[in-house]
């Protein structure tokens, strides 16, 4: 038997700490919360944003969805509808405290391209959220679009990201650029640039670019004080790639190259631009991030 739903009480419990409208000020209306699957092209950066923001990640199947109105739907963006959803837990991808077999949460969704609300019942989803204090059977979605349609591809990517984040050798959060050095070589067009990055935990991270006449520039990233000559650029759609591509500024800050001669500073900027070009854009498709 499905428990009796008391919308006003549950809505208050799930949203009082951080209602959607207050949690994402200045952002555009949330995109449809059930429109993302492997075929919709949700990017690696989008998934990583969600995983980082979500102490609870669950693979679940929606059992019921009750449409909320009036006081229970305060703050819903225009064109969206709020539901109280109950879902059966299939697997817990992340969650130190665990979850019961059935969980509830609030979900704001928009009509699909045909103007109809998606059919939520029996939909298998990946949920990204936070626990609700005092309510172990409730979660609060980490963002208005923090429910995506389950697919084996996204499930595998989410698990890989979650594992990489807690690995002993996980790359640190990049906070900026420190000192930059450029050493010209003996031959015209030869030289080496080192860019030292600042990190949230103080761990060393540096970029090295080597140029030799008649050859393509070579660059690598080091996660220790010692630069490994055999180091290679990070593979795309990995946590190290994300840390760099999604955090590095577009250009070297002036204070980082202030001690360099003008010619060396110019070459350092070019080498840094080459690294940014090789990393590629940190593509995000979501209109709201946690």
Domain spans of the chain, in order of start: 7-165, 174-279
Residue 32 CA to residue 52 CA, distance in Å, equals 21
Kindly state the average pLDDT of the residues 109-124: 91
pLDDT range class, residue 29, cuts 50, 70, 90: very low
Closest CA to 195 of 253, 261, 243: 253
What is the average pLDDT value for the chain, to the nearest integer? 86
pLDDT range class, residue 120, cuts 50, 70, 90: very high
Q: Is the pLDDT of residue 172 over 70?
A: yes
SS (H, E, C) 155-222: HHHHHHHHHHHCCCCCCCCEEEEEEEEEEECCCCCCEEEEEEEEECCCCCEEEEEEECCCCCCEEEEE
Rg of the chain taking only CA atoms, in angstroms: 23
Which of 95-99, 101-105, 120-124, 259-263 is the least confident region?
Answer: 95-99
Closest CA to 128 of 288, 4, 268: 288
pLDDT tens digit string along 67-79? 999 999 998 989 9
> For position 113, what pLDDT does the model report?
84
Q: Is the pLDDT of residue 87 over 80?
A: yes
Kindly state the average pLDDT of the residues 233-246: 97
Predicted TM-score (pTM) of this structure: 0.83
pLDDT tens digit string along 179-233? 999 999 888 889 999 999 999 999 999 999 999 998 999 999 999 887 766 678 9
Which of 125-129, 237-241, 282-286 is the least confident region?
Answer: 282-286
> For position 272, what pLDDT does the model report?
98
HSE-CB of 113 using CA atoms within 13 angstroms: 1
Q: At the top level of CATH, which class does the domain 7-165 belong to?
A: mainly beta
> For position 229, what pLDDT does the model report?
64
Environment class of residue 41 by beta-carbon count within 10 Å: exposed (0-12), middle (13-18) or buried (19+)? exposed
> For position 289, what pLDDT does the model report?
52
Q: Is the pLDDT of residue 13 over 90?
A: no
Q: Is the pLDDT of residue 21 over 70?
A: no
pLDDT range class, residue 2, cuts 50, 70, 90: very low
Residue 21 CA to residue 31 CA, distance in Å, equals 14
Whether residue 158 contacts residue 126, with contact meaning beta carbons closer than 8 Å, is answered with yes
> For position 232, what pLDDT does the model report?
83
Closest CA to 34 of 61, 66, 2, 55: 61
pLDDT range class, residue 59, cuts 50, 70, 90: very high
> For position 112, what pLDDT does the model report?
84
Query: CB under 8 Å to 279, separation ≥6 — which residues?
Result: 233, 241, 244, 245, 248
> For position 275, what pLDDT does the model report?
98
Kindly state the average pLDDT of the residues 23-31: 34
End-to-end CA distance of the chain: 35
Kindly state the average pLDDT of the residues 261-290: 90
């Amino acid at each position: 038997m499905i428990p009796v739903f008391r919308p006003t009480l549950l809505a208050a419990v799930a949203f009082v700490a951080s209602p959607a409208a207050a949690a994402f000020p200045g952002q555009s209306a949330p995109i449809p919360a059930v429109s993302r699957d492997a075929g919709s092209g949700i990017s690696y950066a989008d998934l990583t944003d969600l995983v980082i923001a979500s102490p609870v990640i669950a693979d679940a199947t929606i059992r019921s969805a009750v449409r909320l109105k009036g006081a229970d739907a305060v703050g819903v963006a225009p064109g969206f509808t709020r539901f109280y959803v109950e879902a059966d837990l299939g697997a817990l991808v992340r969650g130190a405290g665990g979850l019961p077999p059935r969980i509830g949460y609030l979900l704001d969704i928009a009509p699909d391209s045909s103007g109809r609300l998606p059919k939520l019942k029996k939909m298998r989803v990946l949920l990204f959220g936070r626990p609700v204090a005092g309510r172990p059977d409730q979660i609060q979605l980490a963002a208005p679009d923090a429910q995506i349609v389950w697919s084996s591809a996204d499930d595998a990517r989410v698990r890989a990201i979650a594992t990489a984040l807690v690995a002993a050798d996980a790359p640190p959060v990049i906070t900026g650029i420190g000192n930059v050095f450029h050493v010209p070589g003996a031959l015209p067009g030869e030289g080496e640039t080192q860019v030292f990055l600042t990190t949230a935990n103080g761990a060393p991270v540096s970029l090295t670019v080597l140029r030799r006449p008649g050859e393509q520039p070579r660059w690598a990233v080091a996660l220790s004080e010692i630069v490994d000559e055999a180091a290679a650029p990070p593979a795309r759609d990995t946590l190290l790639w994300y840390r760099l591509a999604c955090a590095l500024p577009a250009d070297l800050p002036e204070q980082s190259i202030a001690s360099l001669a003008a010619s060396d500073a110019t070459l350092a900027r070019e080498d840094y631009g080459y690294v940014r070009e090789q990393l590629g854009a940190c593509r995000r498709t979501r209109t709201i991030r946690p």
